[in-house]
């Protein structure tokens, strides 16, 4: 399928997805959500994909939702637009393989929410983060209130949500909203190194780490540990990835995934 907003490339098991509405600062509209859902369908059925990277074209990752589209919506339409975005970001969060946000510039409003739906975030030193919705008499609509509080803690999240302050990459790193920060000219190279490193590991092990960690956070510790033990065991079956990895280690060779 061809896309107008999303530029996609799959190479060495890594799906690079670039949001391309630079004149609109990559603002999120219905067409974006339509395309992203279609793309997620494609990638979900592609066994070759091991890692996905999402970034933005130009000076923004995503500068927010498309206000020009939202302004004429009524109450029901506004709720539906929020729910559509939430379902899309839930799908990103629950993709079977890791999803990395490569934040090259402004990640505001819906852009910050998109970044938070990814498994982790790598930022340029020029990146800016914020949830400015209250400046417009709105609140975040794509589960930003929920993800931010869970990622950085309630008090810091409340401060950012209530003040609408925009923070830089260093402050985002301090708050653990992002995991690494690089200079703009090296950002994508560094993100690709991280993606290739992950893609070189056991693909089933990588998927199971994501599954067990995510599901475990929504259960008790004992239930999460039990799920871990069960999935750990599945990697010991005959001709399994775990058997190959351990044999390769003992034989001092690279594993054949």
Give, as one character, the DSSP assignment of residue 73. Answer: -
Contact 236, 50 (CB under 8 A): no
Token output for 11: 């190479």
Label residues 138-175 b or e (16+ Cβ within 10 Å = b): bebbbbbbebbeeebeeebbeebbeeeebbebebbbeb
* Strand ordering across the sheet containing 180-182: 6-11, 14-19, 51-56, 99-103, 120-124, 180-182
Residue 95 and residue 211: Cα distance in Å, rounded? 9
Query: Does the active-site annotation cover 42?
Result: no
DSSP state of 253: S
Residue 113 is among the residues annotated as catalytic for this protein: yes
Query: How are strands ordered across the β-sheet holding 167-168?
Result: 60-62, 106-108, 128-130, 167-168
* Residue among 93, 133, 241, 244 flagged as catalytic: 133
Beta-bridge partners for 129: 107, 167
The single residue of 42, 77, 113, 183 carrying the catalytic annotation is 113
Pairwise CA distance, residues 95 & 119, whole Å:
10
Q: Determine contact, residues 18/57, Cβ cutoff 8 Å.
A: yes
Q: Which residues are catalytic?
A: 113, 133
């Amino acid at each position: 399928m061809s896309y107008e907003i999303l530029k996609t490339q799959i190479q060495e098991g890594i799906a690079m997805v670039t949001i391309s509405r630079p004149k609109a600062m990559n603002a999120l509209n219905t067409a974006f959500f339509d395309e992203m859902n279609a793309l997620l369908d494609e990638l979900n059925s592609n066994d070759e994909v091991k890692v996905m990277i999402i970034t933005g074209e130009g000076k923004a990752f995503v500068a927010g939702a498309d206000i020009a589209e939202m302004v004429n919506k009524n109450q029901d339409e506004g709720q539906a637009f929020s729910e559509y975005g939430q379902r899309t970001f839930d799908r990103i969060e629950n993709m079977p393989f890791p999803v990395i946000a490569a934040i090259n510039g402004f990640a505001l409003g819906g852009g910050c929410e998109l970044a938070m739906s990814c498994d982790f975030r790598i930022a340029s030193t020029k990146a800016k983060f914020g949830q400015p919705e209250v400046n417009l008499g709105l609140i975040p609509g794509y589960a930003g209130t929920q993800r931010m509080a869970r990622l950085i803690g309630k008090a810091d999240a409340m401060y950012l949500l209530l003040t609408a302050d925009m923070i830089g990459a260093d402050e985002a790193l301090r708050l653990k909203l992002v995991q690494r920060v690089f200079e703009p000219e090296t950002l994508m190279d560094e993100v690709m190194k991280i993606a290739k490193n992950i893609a070189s590991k056991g693909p089933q092990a990588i998927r199971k780490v994501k599954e067990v960690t995510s599901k475990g956070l929504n259960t008790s510790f004992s239930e999460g540990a039990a799920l871990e033990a069960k999935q750990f065991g599945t990697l010991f079956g005959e001709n399994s990835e775990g058997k190959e990895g351990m044999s390769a280690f003992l034989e001092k060779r690279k594993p054949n995934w």
